[in-house]
Amino acid sequence: MNGTPLYISKRTARSLWQEYRIYRNRIELQCWLALHTLVIPASEILKIEVRPSVFSGRKEFIWGVKIDNCDLCRHVLLRRKSGILKRIGFSPDDPEKFVAVCQSIMPGTT
């Protein structure tokens, strides 16, 4: 799994000092709780979006795996086509930029 990342999220306290990377064909989400890095091929990404914190006043609850403190701040929700972990929430340093770069590698987008 070589290559130069298109985007690397800075490690922050809200991400529990984890690093999230986007490559041309995949996303890598470092996950201390799972003790390894989750690798998600771009072809497996169904949807990715920026979500508000639970303190924003919106009453939307997200079902899925949260690999950091994502409910407490603006974060990213990734939905996969298959696999055990179909919904993953995480907090990159710049959620809007992370989503924009990720959408650029998804199949069917230009």
Q: Which residue has the higher pLDDT, 64 or 82?
A: 82
Cα distances (angstroms) measured from residue 52 to each of 42, 90, 97, 105: 24, 12, 15, 23
Residue 108 above 80 pLDDT? no
Is residue 16 assigned to a domain? Answer: yes
Burial of 102 (0-12, 13-18, 19+ CB in 10 A): buried
Residue 78 pLDDT exceeds 90: yes
Q: Is residue 72 included in any domain, yes or no? A: yes
Domain total for the chain?
Answer: 1
Residue 46 lies in a domain: yes
The pLDDT score that the predictor gives to residue 42 is 94
pLDDT score, position 62: 66
Domain containing 16 equals 7-105
Q: Residue 1 domain-assigned?
A: no
Would you place residue 73 in the very low, low, confident or very high pLDDT band (cuts 50, 70, 90)? Answer: confident
- Domain assignment present for 2: no
How sure is the predictor about 3, in pLDDT bands with cuts at 50, 70 and 90? confident
CATH of the domain at 72: 2.30.29.30
State the pTM of this model. 0.85
Q: What is the pLDDT of residue 68?
A: 84
Has residue 49 been placed in a domain?
A: yes
Helix (H) or strand (E) holding 105: helix 95-105
pLDDT digits over 11-69, tens only?
888 888 889 999 999 999 988 766 788 999 999 999 999 988 777 666 566 677 888 87
Is there a domain that residue 99 lies in?
yes
Is 67 part of any domain? Answer: yes
